[in-house]
Amino acid sequence: MSGPAPANRLVVPVVVLAVLLAAPPFLSSYVLTLLTQSLIYAIVAMSLDLLLGYLGLPSLGHAAYLGVGAYSVGILTSRYGAGFGTVLPVGVGLALILAAVFGLLALRATGVYFLMITLALGMVAWGLAYRWVSLTQGDNGISGLPRPDVPLPWSLAGAIPFYYFALAGFLLALGVLWLIVHSPFGMSLVGVRESETRMRTLGYHVWLHKYLGFVISGGVAGFGGVLWAYYNGFVGPTDLDLSTSVEVLLMVALGGRATLLGPALGAGIIVFLKNLVSVYTQRWLLILGAAYIGTIVYAPEGIVGAVRRLSEATEPAPARPEA
């Protein structure tokens, strides 16, 4: 957990990154689209991993923060013609504020009650998006959103440039979250997950650590939401309904909690599965539920968790920092 990752653990991520960088020209536009969606959902899944994996808090309302980020794009660009430079900080800032408010309510509970409260708060956010028609245009959503205007020599209108833009956003979120989970604060989150009572008597203000983790998680999800709206060119209530929250939760569980890259992998699997399956059936949620049950029963640590456990048998664990 602590200390730098061993070099051999970096091999797979580096190869994957190289493939992600080199692949676009060889992919069909359909696959590229799914890959872009995966990268953006990976941001949201990793943000939930901070909560579920590291803090042990299962949230079923994470779509709310994605929604705030996405509606920030929708409202600010359609009404005020705001540019990316304004929308990004406002979107992330509003998601942080929403998480700061929701966190005050949700962190009064633990376990399944925490789950229920986050579910209820997520439904409140969905209800606002659906019913506050003057602001959100209700069920119709806000369409015709432009691609972000960034000071780059090329336009993000095309699929390939936007893919790289999403990849950059993914890497930024990954870098920030990686730093947080490997920091002293990140270690404290794991301690809270393992034993709140011990953390308290050691001298930790446990609530504060949970709260900060909750707020940061919401902010990162809001960042994902901003990219999502720019990608779709549209934002509507379906972006933040319950099934979105469930899908994100499944991405984390499937890929492997407390691994960051696991949930990112889970996001890719779910996005591709969802799109491939819905060609054949309308019963996507049924498949989703079955995948969830299968994960819990057969791979409770998720894919990356299981792979790590198998490889750790052969890998000596370094503990001493090099710095």
Residues forming contacts to another protein in the complex (CB under 8 A) are 1-4, 179-180, 182-188, 190-191, 194-195, 197-206, 209, 212, 216, 317-323
Least separation in angstroms between residue 316's CB and another protein is: 8
Q: Which is nearer to another protein, 198 or 283 (CB)?
A: 198
Q: Which is nearer to another protein, 197 or 282 (CB)?
A: 197
Is residue 12 within 8 A of residue 311, CB to CB? The reply is: no
CA dist., res. 222 & res. 228, Å (int): 10
**Which residues is 235 bridged to in the sheet?**
142
Q: Which is nearer to another protein, 139 or 194 (CB)?
A: 194
Least separation in angstroms between residue 223's CB and another protein is: 16
CA dist., res. 35 & res. 43, Å (int): 13
Least separation in angstroms between residue 183's CB and another protein is: 4
Least separation in angstroms between residue 205's CB and another protein is: 5
Least separation in angstroms between residue 39's CB and another protein is: 24
What amino acid occupies position 277? V
Q: Dihedral sign for Cα 300, 302, 304, 306, please.
A: positive
Task: Name the residue among 190, 219, 239, 181 with its Cα closest to residue 100.
Answer: 219
List the alpha helices (DSSP H) in the chain.
Answer: 7-22, 29-49, 63-80, 84-106, 111-131, 133-136, 159-182, 184-194, 196-202, 206-232, 242-255, 261-280, 284-298, 302-312
Least separation in angstroms between residue 265's CB and another protein is: 22
**Tokens representing residue 60 in the block:** 């079923």
Q: Which is nearer to another protein, 182 or 274 (CB)?
A: 182
DSSP state of 50: I
Q: Which is nearer to another protein, 79 or 205 (CB)?
A: 205
DSSP state of 57: -
Q: Which is nearer to another protein, 156 or 174 (CB)?
A: 174
